[in-house]
Chains A and B, each alone.
Chain A
Amino acid sequence: MADLAVGDVVAEAAFHLTRESLVRYAGASGDFNPIHYRDDVAASVGLPGVLAHGMLTMGVAVQPVVDWAGGAEHIVDYQVRFTRPVVVDPVEGATLGVVATVGALPTDADPGVVRIDLAVTAAGRTVLGKAQVRVRLA
């Protein structure tokens, strides 16, 4: 990890979400907003379809960084902006692509902590903005 440079790709992964993934996440998280499992409710509030929970996308997107860092205990700060909904088709599902890149190296003010920036896409479009993970290097 000593040889990291800004722009280095440290992890890349793809995850396939289905409606089952959404129901599983609803139960695990306690977020039972029906826009994440009922087409009629999603349509009634003007959404293009049933959406993945933003927090599911956020939770999945950090996993490649957790694995790279050597465990969740290395994550000191994690933030995202939800910029585009992830529509999960009942048949086709949706695939999330994650590319994790070194965004900033440790500074004197924050020694040992590197910032990893996440590029997260679904159907070829970016769905998270300012997705940044601060990782304390082992």
Chain B
Amino acid sequence: MTINLALEGRTLPPTVPYTVGVEKIREFARAVFAGDTTGAVAPPTFAIVIQQLTLDQLLDDPDVGIDFSKVVHGDQHFVYSRTIVPGDELTGQLTVTSVKSLGGNAMITADTVVTDRDGAHVVTATSTLVVRGGD
């Protein structure tokens, strides 16, 4: 395992603002079998769209040393201040809060704080990723 233990505490640059479209919400709602596909309000897990951008930043960083195909999602947690709605301009900023080695595996926990164009908190998405060893 070549994961960089010094990652703990690192905060990545904020993502470019993402403008939430009604059709994107509808597409996501259909994909998660939501009852409401009007696009007026995003389903609870829609925040993953913004969080994914920050996780891609993390996984694409050569300094991080993670093989994407060996990543398994361990835990996920969302804490909401409000729902995401069409017209929102959302920015995500990821902080690595914990890096642990466990046997041949590594576990990384990261918080992505999602804010709107006024800088107000919308949702915090926390993921724990398990990077499987074995090579």
Contacts and interface: CB of A to CB of B under 8 A. Distances in A.
Interface of A: 15, 21, 24-25, 27-31, 33-35, 41, 44-46, 53-56, 58-60, 62-63, 66-67, 71-73, 75-82
Interface string B15-45: 0000000001001101111111000011111
Max chain A C-beta neighbours (<10 A), residue from B27, B28, B76:
B76
A128 to B, nearest CB: 10
A121 to B, nearest CB: 16
Interface stretch (B78-86, B87-95, B109-117): B78-86
A15 B33 contact: yes
Given A28-B31, A41-B69, A66 B45 contact: no
Nearest to A62: B44
B70 A45 contact: yes
Interface of B: 24, 27-28, 30-36, 41-45, 48-49, 52-53, 56, 68-80, 82-83, 132, 134
Name A's interface SS. helix
Given A62-B45, A71-B36, A79-B78, A31 B52 contact: yes
Given A29-B49, A59-B45, A66-B36, A75 B80 contact: yes
Given A29-B48, A56-B31, A78-B78, 9 more contacts: A24-B31, A28-B31, A31-B48, A54-B76, A63-B43, A71-B36, A71-B41, A72-B44, A80-B77
Contacts of A62: 43-45
Contacts of B42: 72
Contacts of A59: 31-32, 43-45, 48
8 contacts: A30-B49, A33-B71, A45-B69, A55-B45, A62-B45, A63-B34, A78-B80, A79-B78
Name B's interface SS. mixed
A123 B51 CA distance: 30
B60 to A, nearest CB: 13
A59 B73 CA distance: 14
A99 B48 CA distance: 23
Contacts of A41: 69
A49 to B, nearest CB: 14
Nearest to B26: A28
B41 to A, nearest CB: 5
A29 B82 CA distance: 20
